[in-house]
Amino acid sequence: MARTAGSHSDITGPRVREAALRLFARGGYAAVSMRAIAAEVGVQAGALYNYTPDKQSLLFDLMEGHMTELLAASRDDANLGPETRLHDFVAFHIEFHHARADAVFIAYMELRNLTPANFARIEALRREYEDGLEAILRDGVAAGDFNVADTKIATLAIIAMLTGVNTWFRDGGRLSLREVTAQYWDMVRRAVI
Amino acid sequence: MARTAGSHSDITGPRVREAALRLFARGGYAAVSMRAIAAEVGVQAGALYNYTPDKQSLLFDLMEGHMTELLAASRDDANLGPETRLHDFVAFHIEFHHARADAVFIAYMELRNLTPANFARIEALRREYEDGLEAILRDGVAAGDFNVADTKIATLAIIAMLTGVNTWFRDGGRLSLREVTAQYWDMVRRAVI
DNA sequence: TTACTTTTTGAACATCTGTTCAGATAGTCG
DNA sequence: CGACTATCTGAACAGATGTTCAAAAAGTAA
């Protein structure tokens, strides 16, 4: 056998990325073999190399894609008041990260499996995202609305706190994501105002 | 060659655990081979099996040891006021986790590499630690000192925020750990009081 | 020294790893 | 139809994997 009936790169390509995302998130990059990804797609291992030059690129592309989408989706209107902007950031962060738990998990857990060059590129994107929140905090401090001693520390503290939702929240649990968001917003607001 | 000069289990045993801790933290459990650990100790791979029945047990023992020490070191005096108890928790958590960054990293990142039975045991220890903080928050709410809508959420939020220090703090940076702790305490205090 | 225990080596095992590629089949277009 | 391209298989590669174990050397105690 060779080419299979119905095979097409527009279909197989996305399926390869989806399978890799799911398996990397569940088992970790190093523990997932190319053959395991291929089996999930329903293809032989060799076929994966039509869609990625190597395993490392597959990981990097997933991470870069996630970070790029995160930056594209996160918008901030500097014309709004600092408190509104901060609230929107909190709600956006929780919602976006909840909707892409696998990608978030990989982006935070597999950094050490990137080559140094790839690591630097992902880190730059992460810093860009952090800078968005820090700008809100700085503007709030400048306007006299926020009381924050060190905006860099507050930025990292808030992001760590919000991202932590992903480690425990499950749909259908005691609280809805809306309720959880409200509570986190309440804590963030009081911590910086 | 066989047994080597000066070899003794009281020396090799700890060195095996130290090497595994360091290498697992740096490269991840799945990416570190038994031969790599053995090389770090200066021994052949077969010798490791005098100190662990298998690789999985080596990981589990490191994680369980860390969690046990964490629970043993974290003490809470219910006779003190809630605010004092909370402050002590924040300072302890940051200091303890900073002093054992490798073990903390493993305990958070390698959970998925545990067998289900081992995972359940580590999770139970983690929950026990979280319960310690939640008790402080509940007592503070009961005493009218704290204003917290949901103590479970606040517990998870605070722990995520504090543990996040490990991801960016480095000795010799812009701020000392004491200064960082003061800032985190300020944010935690305002978030719950 | 002798007898015994502790510790390590080094080879072996079956299996898995990422990656390559010639050849074969399916889709596509004139 | 015929020519061409896109896609996949299946085998092969060199090497790494966790683990076992007989044999050998070092420590210990009489």
For chain A, give every domain's residue range: 9-52, 58-192
- The spacing between the Cα labelled CA in B46 and the C1' in D23, in angstroms, equals 14
Token couple for A193: 């105002």
Question: What pLDDT is recorded for position B22?
Answer: 98
Is residue B106 within 8 A of residue B48, CB to CB? The reply is: no
**From B162, which residue of chain A is nearest by alpha-carbon distance?**
A157
Nearest to A108 by CA among B109, B179, B29: B109
The residue-averaged pLDDT of A83-98 equals 98
Q: What is the CB-side half-sphere exposure of residue B166 using CA atoms within 13 A?
A: 21
- Work out the pLDDT band at A126, boundaries 50, 70, 90: very high
Distance of CA B49 to the CA centre of its chain: 25
Q: Are B28 and A27 a contacting pair at CB < 8 A?
A: no
Q: How far apart are CA A116 and CA A60, in angstroms?
A: 11
- Work out the pLDDT band at A8, boundaries 50, 70, 90: confident
Distance of CA A15 to the CA centre of its chain: 19
Is residue A151 within 8 A of residue A138, CB to CB? The reply is: yes
Q: What is the CATH code of the structural domain delimited by B58-192? A: 1.10.357.10
Question: What pLDDT is recorded for position A2?
Answer: 84
The chain B residues in contact with chain A (CB within 8 A) are 26-31, 109, 112-113, 149-150, 153-154, 156-161, 163-164, 167-168, 175, 180, 183-184, 186-188, 190-192
Quickly tell me which residue has 């989706």 as its tokens: A73
Which nucleotides of strand D lie within 7 A of protein CB? Answer: 6-12, 16-28
- Written out in words, the top-level CATH class of the domain with range B9-52 is mainly alpha
| % of chain A with per-residue pLDDT over 70 | 99
Q: Is the CA virtual torsion A176, A192, B146, B189 positive or negative?
A: positive
Q: Are B28 and A26 a contacting pair at CB < 8 A?
A: no
Quote the radius of gyration of chain A (alpha carbons, Å). 20
Question: What pLDDT is recorded for position A6?
Answer: 86
Question: What pLDDT is recorded for position A189?
Answer: 98
**From B169, which residue of chain A is nearest by alpha-carbon distance?**
A153
Q: How far apart are CA B148 and CA A53, in angstroms?
A: 51
Q: How far apart are CA B103 and CA B125, in angstroms?
A: 14
Instruction: Name the burial class of residue A106, with classes exposed (0-12), middle (13-18) and buried (19+) by CB atoms within 10 angstroms of its CB.
Output: buried
Q: How far apart are CA A33 and CA A38, in angstroms?
A: 9
**pLDDT tens readout for residues B118-149:** 999 999 999 999 999 999 999 999 999 999 99
Whether A186 shows a pLDDT value over 70: the answer reads yes
Question: What pLDDT is recorded for position B166?
Answer: 97
The residue-averaged pLDDT of A14-33 equals 97
Same fold, B9-52 and B58-192: no
Question: What pLDDT is recorded for position B83?
Answer: 97
Quote the radius of gyration of chain B (alpha carbons, Å). 20
Q: How far apart are CA B102 and CA B114, in angstroms?
A: 17
Mean model confidence pLDDT for chain A: 96
Which nucleotides of strand C lie within 7 A of protein CB? Answer: 6-12, 16-28
Is residue A21 within 8 A of residue A105, CB to CB? The reply is: no
Q: Are A28 and B113 a contacting pair at CB < 8 A?
A: yes
Q: How far apart are CA B52 and CA B75, in angstroms?
A: 31
Q: Are A167 and B160 a contacting pair at CB < 8 A?
A: yes
Question: What pLDDT is recorded for position A1?
Answer: 62
- B-chain residues near A30 (CB < 8 A): 27-28, 30-31
User: Longest C-alpha distance within chain B, in Å?
Assistant: 71
- Work out the pLDDT band at A153, boundaries 50, 70, 90: very high
Residues of chain B with pLDDT below 50 are none
